[in-house]
């Protein structure tokens, strides 16, 4: 018996037969669902969704749209936030500018008020009167009788003052006489701003010259005992003119200008 290959039942299946058998196998596998995990996942996902019976809301396309929507919303929010921030910054700048303007105006007003007050204080000071000797007193009154004076009557008042005491202009005016005045010794006559005159006699030194403007309290010289005197003091007169004999009551004059004598 020869070992010949048998024909018929032992031959390999034809190509067509093999293909048919494989197709049948695939179909059989498909019913189990196993093929889904083996084959392309995309192919498996869609039937799976359909199998749930739910409307396929969540799909790959929707996810992308949502991402775009979310991105757009985020961009819009960022733009709105940036706009709001810019607006807030502008408002803050405006408020700061307004505050700075108000502060500047307030400072300007305060400065003007201060200047006004200073001018007012200076005007008041210039219009005020002071005693010719600070912290002194009248040692010989007006129109007192004495053989010392040629008229026989005192044409001014004497302020107690040691030699070298500071003598002040009693008010604002201009020096019209500064020098030797005979029995008055070294003397100064000032034409006051109100048109009256004041005289300061027996000075040990003169500190001003004719034509010089003086202010209240300004030192014009030092007291002494020059001229017709028995001792150092300041002789003070108030006059209606620069001339001797036009004298008026110096105490009343000073008091009328607010000086306490
Ligand atoms: Zn006198």
Distance 95 CA to ligand 1 centre (A): 72
Residue 180 β-bridge partners = 186
Confidence of residue 44 (pLDDT cuts 50, 70, 90): very low
Q: Comparing 204 with 74, which gets the higher pLDDT?
A: 204
Least confident of 3-7, 214-218, 250-254: 3-7
> What is the structure's pLDDT at 202?
98
**Residue 26 pLDDT exceeds 70:** no
- Per annotation, catalytic residue among 168, 202, 233, 257: 233
Our answer to whether residue 160 is catalytic in this structure is no
> What residues pack around ion ligand 1 (CB closer than 5 A)?
158, 235
How far, rounded to the nearest angstrom, does the alpha carbon of residue 43 sit from its chain's CA centroid? 79
Homologous superfamily of 138-256: Glucose Permease (Domain IIA) (2.70.70.10)
Q: How far is CA 244 from CA 76, 145, 250, in A?
A: 100, 17, 14
- Residue 81 backbone dihedrals phi, psi, to 5 degrees: -65, -40
Question: Do 205 and 186 meet the contact criterion of CB atoms below 8 Å apart?
Answer: yes
Alpha-carbon gap, residue 180 to 163, rounded angstroms? 17
Task: Please give the pLDDT value at position 65.
Answer: 81
Q: Where are the domains of the chain?
A: 15-43, 138-256
Cα(238) to centroid(ligand 1), Å = 12
Exposure string over 3-12, b if 16+ CB within 10 A, otherwise e:
eeeeeeeeee
**If pLDDT is split at 50, 70 and 90, which confidence band does 11 have?**
low
Mean pLDDT computed over every residue of the chain = 84
Rounded distance between C-alpha atoms, residue 55 and residue 43, angstroms:
18
Burial of 238 per CB tally in 10 Å (0-12, 13-18, 19+): buried
Closest to 194 measured CA to CA, from 173, 215, 212: 173
Q: Ligand 1 centre and the CA of 140: distance in Å?
A: 7
Q: How many Å lie between the centroid of ligand 1 and the Cα of residue 180?
A: 15
CA–CA distance, 194 with 126 (Å, rounded to integer): 12
Q: Which pLDDT tens digit goes with each residue over 154-192?
A: 999 999 999 999 999 999 999 999 999 999 999 999 999
pLDDT at 67: 85
| Residue 56 or residue 63, greater confidence | 63
Structure tokens at 233: 């003091």
Above pLDDT 70, what percent of the chain? 75
Q: What are phi and psi of 203, to 5 degrees?
A: -70, 145
Q: How confident is residue 63, by pLDDT bands cut at 50, 70 and 90?
A: confident
More confident residue, 57 or 96: 96
**Is residue 31 over pLDDT 50?**
no
Give residue 198 CA to ligand 1 midpoint distance, Å: 13
Q: Say which residues have a Cβ less than 8 Å from residue 217's Cβ, sequence separation at least 6.
A: 130, 168, 169
What tokens appear for 119 in the block?
């001018």
């Amino acid at each position: 018996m020869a070992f010949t290959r048998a024909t018929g039942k032992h031959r390999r299946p034809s190509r067509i037969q093999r293909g048919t058998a494989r197709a049948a196998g695939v179909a059989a596998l498909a019913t189990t669902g196993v093929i889904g995990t083996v084959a392309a996942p995309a192919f498996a996902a869609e039937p799976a969704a359909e199998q749930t019976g739910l409307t396929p809301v969540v799909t790959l396309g929707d996810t992308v749209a949502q991402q775009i929507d979310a991105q757009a919303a985020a961009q819009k929010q960022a733009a709105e936030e940036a706009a709001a921030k810019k607006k807030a910054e502008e408002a803050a700048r405006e408020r700061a500018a307004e505050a700075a303007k108000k502060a500047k105006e307030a400072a300007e007003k305060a400065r003007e008020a201060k200047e006004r007050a200073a001018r007012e204080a200076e005007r008041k000071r210039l219009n005020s009167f002071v005693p010719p000797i600070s912290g002194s007193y009248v040692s010989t009154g007006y129109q007192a009788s004495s053989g010392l004076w040629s008229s026989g009557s005192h044409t001014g008042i004497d302020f107690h003052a040691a030699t070298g005491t500071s003598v002040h202009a009693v008010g604002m005016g201009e020096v019209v006489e500064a020098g030797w005045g005979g029995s008055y010794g070294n003397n100064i006559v000032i034409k006051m701003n109100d048109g009256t005159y004041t005289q300061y006699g027996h000075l040990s030194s003169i500190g001003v010259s004719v034509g010089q403007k003086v202010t209240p309290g300004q030192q014009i010289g030092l007291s002494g005992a020059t001229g017709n005197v028995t001792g150092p003091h300041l002789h003070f007169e108030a006059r209606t003119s620069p001339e001797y004999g036009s004298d008026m009551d110096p105490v009343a004059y000073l008091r009328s200008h607010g000086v306490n004598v």
